[in-house]
Structure 1
Amino acid sequence: MVITSTIEDYLERILLLSEEGGHARVTKLANLLGISKTSVTEMISKLKANGYVDFEKYGTITLTEKGRKIAVEVKERHDFLKSFLVLIGVNEDDASNDCCVMEHNLSKETIEKMKTFIEFLQEKNQKDVFERLNEYRVQNEK
């Protein structure tokens, strides 16, 4: 099974539901994703058949180790990209929406280079760069 952005979204949402102290169930997942329970059930069946989740009809959905590994990677990319976008001045709502697209389309290398850049600035006490960037942005916004 090729890991598509849809599959990544499902696995990430299942992880988030389980981390929030709740249980991932078809109805909760359908509401969260804004799709029908039938569509969720079909995808969960595919994910189960490929070893990404455990699920019994009318029960909870749990990630297998294989599914959890992917979900954690996606969540880490999501969290980093959102914080990066906010750091460079993107408002919180746009950052949330944009990082959802970016997390599936940027290469691992690109994300690693972005992380290295941020780490470099933080390590070399270049935090004022972000302040100067914000000042520049405010002065030049139209």
Structure 2
Amino acid sequence: MLSPSLEDYLEETYRFSQLPGPVRVTDISKKLKVSLPSVTKALGRLREKKYINYEPYGEITLTEQGTRLGSFLVERNQLLQEFLMLICANCDTAAEAEAMEHYLSGETIKAIQKLVKFLKNYPEPYNEYLEYIQQLTDEHLLEL
């Protein structure tokens, strides 16, 4: 199991691996807004755990295990963003999904996935939900 931080590094490595050209430490550094030494250290840990092949100043490639987990991490993030949009969360969905993704259990992720599929396949209940939330006033909602 990876820490949330290492999951972020692997997720971004996977995203960059889907683009033409090599995966570079500088790209990961810019995307995650961390220093180059931080990326290098994280890549070393991912290499030790057999998720990537990497030598300093060399090419970064994903192992089969890294590709599988990286794909899952990207799909999980996309699912949570879709869920937040479906429930009409008035937030930065990318940032909110990022905050949620590391702390939800696999069973909760599966339950969210089932709900998203249901709402997409059965538009009538979803449209009723949308009408209902439009009728709610702030007095019915939690004060934050």
The answer to whether the 8 Å contact 1:78/1:99 transfers is yes
State the identity %.
Answer: 35
Q: Tell me the distance in 2 between the aligned counterparts of 1:48 and 1:55.
A: 6
Q: Identify which of structures 1 and 2 has the higher relative contact order when contacts are C-alpha pairs closer than 8 Å and 6+ apart.
A: 1
Query: Which residue of structure 2 aligns with residue 9 of structure 1?
Result: 8
Q: Tell me the distance in 2 between the aligned counterparts of 1:82 and 1:24.
A: 25
The answer to whether the 8 Å contact 2:119/2:126 transfers is no
Query: Which residue of structure 1 aligns with residue 141 of structure 2?
Result: none
The answer to whether the 8 Å contact 1:88/1:130 transfers is no
TM-score by length of 2: 0.85
Within a 5 Å distance, the mapping from 1:1-142 to structure 2 comes to: 2-91=1-90, 94-123=92-121, 126-142=122-138
Q: Shift in Å at residue 37 of structure 1? A: 0.3
SS at match of 2:53: strand
Q: Structure 2 vs 1, CA of residues 66 and 139 (structure 1 numbering), >3 Å: closer, same or farther?
A: same
Unaligned runs of 5+ in 1: none
The answer to whether the 8 Å contact 1:24/1:61 transfers is yes
Structure 1 ranges of 4+ moved more than 6 A: none
Q: Shift in Å at residue 11 of structure 1? A: 0.6
CA RMSD for the aligned pairs? 1.8
Q: Which amino acid aligns with 1:116?
A: K
Aligned residues: 138
Q: Tell me the distance in 2 between the aligned counterparts of 1:9 and 1:53.
A: 14
Q: Structure 2 vs 1, CA of residues 141 and 60 (structure 1 numbering), >3 Å: closer, same or farther?
A: farther
Q: Shift in Å at residue 122 of structure 1? A: 4.2
SS at match of 1:56: coil
SS at match of 1:105: coil
